[in-house]
Structure formats: structure tokens, C-alpha cells
Amino acid sequence: MALSHEQRRLQRRAAAIGAACLLATAVAARRAGLTDPLCGAFLAVSVAAVLSWLAAATVRSARLTAREAAAWALGLAVAAAGPVLTAAWPGEEVATGPVAAPGDVLRLGRNHPGRHLLLVSAAVPEPGQVSFELEVGGERVTGELLRGARKWSVGDERGHTHLDRESLVMGSDLPAGEVQVTLERTSVPGLALNLIVYRERFPGWLPALAALCALLACAWRVAPLGAGREAVTAASAAILIGLATGAAATPVHSMGAAVRGLFLGGLGGLLVGDVLFRVFRWIGRGHLNWRGHVGTASRHGGRRTGAPSRPRS
């Protein structure tokens, strides 16, 4: 039996209260001394899990059993968590150390060929920015770290937007043999740049692709059901929170990325969820019949018209 409108309203309210409590918990834990990556990953993954539960619970009916709803909720939560966890813990740490002046070197040693990730972080004074150039295994890479605020004005309204990026992750293919990271240039000599080199566990695009596939599969399954629009919107918000957080998070700074991911994922989920619902609803009504029927849905009763397609000889 499908859930009533009042039950769905109570579920949405419970999900909103749960997400707010999780945000407050993550902020309190960060202030209590827990590490930034742990708090950020907890916030993004837990809120995505709440939205995944909301998506599955909204369409629980005779055509979607409790066991199937639980499986979809778990699958969406795992898919949304993939990009976040990959960004916060990208792989095995190979080498770490500071460089402050041009010519400083971080040696990686031998037997480290293949794809690696280089994390650069610094305690940038506020306001300020640091541009740098590194040589990594014969390849030159450049980047910029900044901390501060940008002023803006719209009519009579004025304000400022915080622009904090105190860490940066860059990919590099390291050759075989002796490899080192050399600081070639920095705009603030004497400011220590903390370098950490990770051996990439698997390509960063793989969790993102898995998350998008999970979202499309969920939309295809639940869009034709009752309250499908709300379910697809909640699922889209959960996946987009994971993608937005994973795109901005680093192994040393994840909390700010998670907070921004909540807002971007929530707003983007409204738009993406509505588009996916309309597309898969259109497909489910018979414009493209997966069982081999070709035709359109009748406006009276929703019955499909058209004969089954015949196999070609």
C-alpha cells in the first residue's frame, strides 16, 4: 500500500531534522578536536544516507517491497559515499615532508612508478595567497593556495564570500627509478609547503561514474511509481552531495567541502531530479517500451497502444 501524502510529509520533515542534527554534530565534533577529513566525510556520507533512505521510503508500496527499498537506500548511500571517501583517503602514503625555499627537495626513493597524487597544503595567512611551481619526476606542475574573502555588491546589497583553498591535490605519472619533488618557485619564500605523495588506489573518475550509474538506475526504477518525483529528487540530492564534496575535498580539508556540497547538492538535486523524473516517466509511459512494445500511453487509464514488435527474419 502506497504511503499517504501526510506520511510522506512527515518523512521529509524527519529527514530535514536529521540532516540538521548531523550538521550540528559534525561542527561540534570538529570543534572538539576531531580531524577535518573525518568530520567532513562523516557529514557528507551521513546526510547522503539520510536522503537515500528518504528516496527509498517515499516510494515504498506494493510494487516496491521493504527489502527492495532497503537495498536501494543502501546502494545509493554507498554510491554517494564513494567519491567522498576516495577524496579524503586517496591511497597509500608514499612520502611526506615540507619544502619552503626554492631548491628544497622531497625524495620519494625508488620503485614508485605509476599514477600518484601530490597533496600540497600550507598555513596561508589571511588574507593572502601563495603560488608555487614544483618539478615532480621531470614534470613541472603549478598551483595556487589562497585564504581570504572577495567583496561583492548587487545594487544596494554588499557582502563578501570566503575563498579558502589551503590544500590542493594534483595527479602525476611518476617514472621508474629515483624520483624527487623539487620546489622551483614560490611567491612567499619561507612559508612551508607541506607535501604528501599518495599512490593512487584507483582512478578518481571511477567512483563518480559508479555514483551516476546508481542514480540513473534508481530513477529508472522508481520514476513510474507513486511519489516518484520526490524519490528521484532525494536520490539526486544524495548523489550530487557526494560528487560535489568529493570534487572539492582533500585529505587534510574536507569539512568546508562537505558544507558546500550540502548546499550545491541540495539545490542541484531539485533540478537534476526533476529532469530525470520527466525523462524516465516519459519512457515508462510507453514512448520507449522496454518489453518490445512500440506505442504511446493512452490519456485515459494509462494503457499502452501498439502491437508487440515482431522479430526480424
- CATH number of the domain within which 188 lies: 2.60.120
Quote the radius of gyration of the chain (alpha carbons, Å). 24
Instruction: Output phi, psi for 106, to 5 deg.
Output: -115, 115
CA distance 307 to 180: 68
Measuring CA to CA, how many Å separate 81 from each of 32, 217, 220?
24, 17, 21
pLDDT per residue of the chain (313 residues) written in tens, 0 to 9: 455 566 566 666 677 777 778 778 877 777 776 777 888 888 888 888 888 888 887 776 546 777 888 888 899 999 999 999 999 888 888 889 999 888 889 888 776 678 888 899 888 877 778 888 998 877 888 888 877 644 444 445 554 444 567 788 888 888 777 788 889 988 888 888 999 999 888 888 899 999 999 999 998 888 877 667 888 899 999 999 999 999 888 888 888 888 888 888 888 988 999 999 888 888 866 544 444 444 444 444 444 444 455 555 4
Amino acid in the structure at residue 173:
D
Same domain, 48 and 193: no
Same domain, 98 and 76: no
CA distance 202 to 93: 14
CA distance 209 to 251: 21
Please identify which residue in the block is written with the cell numbers 506505442: 295
Same domain, 98 and 74: no
**Residue 279 belongs to a domain:** yes
Number of folded domains in the chain? 2
CA distance 142 to 13: 46
CA distance 11 to 100: 53
pTM of the model as a whole: 0.78
Helix extents (H) in the chain = 5-32, 36-58, 66-88, 205-222, 228-248, 255-282
Same domain, 33 and 125: no
- Long-range CB pairs of 30-36 (<8 Å, 24+ gap) are 30/255, 36/252, 36/253, 36/254, 36/255
Q: Can you read off the three cell numbers belonging to residue 70? A: 532497503
CA distance 72 to 61: 14
For the packed helices 228-248 and 66-88, what is the interaxial angle rounded to 10 degrees? 20
Same domain, 215 and 281: yes
pLDDT digits 0-9 by tens, 80-116: 999 999 998 888 888 899 998 888 898 887 766 788 8
Measuring CA to CA, how many Å separate 252 from each of 18, 47, 139?
26, 21, 24
Q: Which domain holds residue 169?
A: 91-200
CA distance 118 to 196: 6
pLDDT digits 0-9 by tens, 25-61: 877 777 776 777 888 888 888 888 888 888 887 776 5
Same domain, 264 and 164: no
